[in-house]
């Protein structure tokens, strides 16, 4: 099958959509399909992938790619890549990784256009927000990278991974550490990531006297990130907005770090019964969750146990096969009317 995978952001950009798009493209190819990725993300480096990447294609090139495809798969809907479907009849499958605005022209057009697509949602939270029926397929993670490393000692306590922007809630986490310090509890936190909030966060850390407890290490990825997660007891995901899912929680669980997340969108679904969930935007609740986990080694061991079956549902192979089943069903349904007319 020829699959055109449309992903507005793609590597070398870093993010959840980019990660999932690359994982699916690689798996689709390994399972015998021909894949071309279309993206708006530019790159000056050779791609070096087993699949072709078309970056910022011209209108003509995009049209020809849609003509080539047996199925057009949007990993998050992108109208700028959808217009050829007005002229070429192809099965259109859309996987939803985030919320579509209910207001504004672009959001309204997207929500209306979804009636023509086969829709996939990465969480029950996302599915409940869509105006159309969807099938839930949770996100995959790089299960060959994020694994337990026996040669890495788990000596550190807390770790955060993500962009340093207000929605990710790192400011709430810093305030929670300030509350704990007032009770003479001073766990160490490693902050992994970059973003515009970094200077303000570092200033707040200094004001609260947490300089010896909080370390900003910048961006990490791949096996280096996996090794860092293996060295920590607890991953904290203090998001203050409604997270659509939370792949970072899966990556941490696979490395043996117990996730402490906020009650935000699809985060509780990503964690399942193998982490702790607290109220979002609540420094006191977050502080209480941190203290409860770090003060109970037996609970940490219990939460780490049994994660294999939970993580298996999110393996690249399992998720790719689920996507391919839906894509294949969409292709069959697309062909059925023509077969009926031919008879």
Confidence of residue 313 (pLDDT cuts 50, 70, 90): very high
pLDDT of residue 343: 39
Say if residue 39 is in the same domain as residue 53. Answer: yes
Distance CA 165, CA 107 (A): 23
Q: Is the pLDDT of residue 339 over 60?
A: no
Residue 295 lies in a domain: yes
Q: Tell me, what DSSP letter sits at residue 257?
A: P
Residue 145 lies in a domain: no
| Lowest-confidence pick of 11-15, 87-91, 205-209 | 11-15
Structural domains counted in the chain: 2
pLDDT of residue 340: 52
Range of the domain at 249: 156-312
DSSP string for 146-180: S---TTS---EEEEEES--SGGGTHHHHHHHHHHH
Q: Is the pLDDT of residue 341 over 80?
A: no
Say if residue 282 is in the same domain as residue 298. Answer: yes
Q: What percent of the chain has pLDDT over 70?
A: 98
Say if residue 243 is in the same domain as residue 120. Answer: no
CATH code at position 48: 3.40.50.2000
Instruction: Please classify residue 189 by burial: count the beta carbons closer than 10 Å to its beta carbon, then call 0-12 exposed, 13-18 middle and 19+ buried.
Output: buried
Average pLDDT over residues 28-42: 97
Residue 149 lies in a domain: no
Average pLDDT over residues 123-140: 97
Say if residue 40 is in the same domain as residue 160. Answer: no
Average pLDDT over residues 275-281: 97
Non-local (6+) Cβ contacts of 112 within 8 A are none
Read off the tokens for 102: 């209910």
C-alpha distances out from residue 1 to 4, 43, 262, Å = 10, 27, 41
Say if residue 308 is in the same domain as residue 321. Answer: no
Minimal CA–CA distance to 249: which of 239, 240, 236? 236
Task: Give the predicted TM-score (pTM) of the model.
Answer: 0.91
pLDDT of residue 342: 45
Tens digits of residue pLDDT in 82-102: 999 999 999 999 999 999 999
Distance CA 323, CA 113 (A): 20
Q: Is the pLDDT of residue 233 over 80?
A: yes
Say if residue 257 is in the same domain as residue 283. Answer: yes
Distance CA 87, CA 234 (A): 51
Q: Is the pLDDT of residue 133 over 60?
A: yes
Confidence of residue 47 (pLDDT cuts 50, 70, 90): confident
Q: What is the mean pLDDT of the chain?
A: 95
């Amino acid at each position: 099958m020829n699959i055109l995978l449309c992903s507005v952001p793609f590597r070398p950009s870093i993010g959840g959509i980019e990660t999932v798009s690359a994982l699916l493209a690689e798996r689709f190819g390994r399972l015998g399909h021909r894949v071309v990725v279309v993206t708006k993300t530019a790159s000056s480096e050779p791609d070096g992938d087993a699949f072709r990447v078309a970056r910022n294609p011209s209108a003509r090139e995009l049209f020809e790619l849609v003509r080539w495809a047996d199925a057009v798969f949007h990993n998050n809907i992108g109208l700028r890549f959808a217009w050829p479907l007005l002229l070429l009849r192809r099965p259109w499958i859309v996987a939803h990784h985030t919320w579509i605005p209910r207001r504004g022209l672009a959001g309204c057009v997207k929500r209306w256009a979804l009636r023509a697509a086969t829709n996939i949602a990465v969480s029950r939270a996302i599915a409940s927000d869509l105006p159309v029926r969807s099938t839930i397929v949770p996100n995959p993670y790089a299960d060959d990278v994020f694994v337990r490393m026996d040669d890495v000692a788990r000596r550190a306590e807390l770790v955060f991974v993500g962009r340093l922007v207000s929605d990710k809630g790192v400011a709430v986490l810093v305030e929670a550490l300030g509350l704990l310090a007032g009770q003479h509890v001073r766990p160490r936190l490693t902050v992994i990531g970059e973003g515009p909030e970094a200077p303000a966060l570092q200033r707040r850390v200094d004001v609260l006297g947490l300089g010896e407890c909080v370390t900003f290490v910048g961006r990490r990825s791949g096996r280096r990130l996996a090794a860092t997660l293996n060295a920590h007891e607890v991953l904290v995901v203090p998001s203050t907005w409604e997270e659509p899912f939370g792949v970072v929680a899966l990556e941490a669980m696979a490395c043996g770090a117990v996730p402490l997340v906020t009650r935000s969108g699809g985060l509780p679904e990503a964690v399942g019964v193998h982490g702790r969930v607290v109220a979002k935007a609540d420094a006191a609740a977050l502080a209480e969750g941190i203290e409860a986990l770090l003060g109970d080694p037996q609970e940490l061991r219990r939460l780490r146990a049994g994660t294999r079956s939970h993580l298996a549902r999110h393996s690249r192979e399992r998720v790719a096969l689920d996507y391919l089943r839906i894509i294949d069903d969409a292709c069959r349904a697309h062909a059925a009317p023509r077969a009926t007319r031919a008879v």
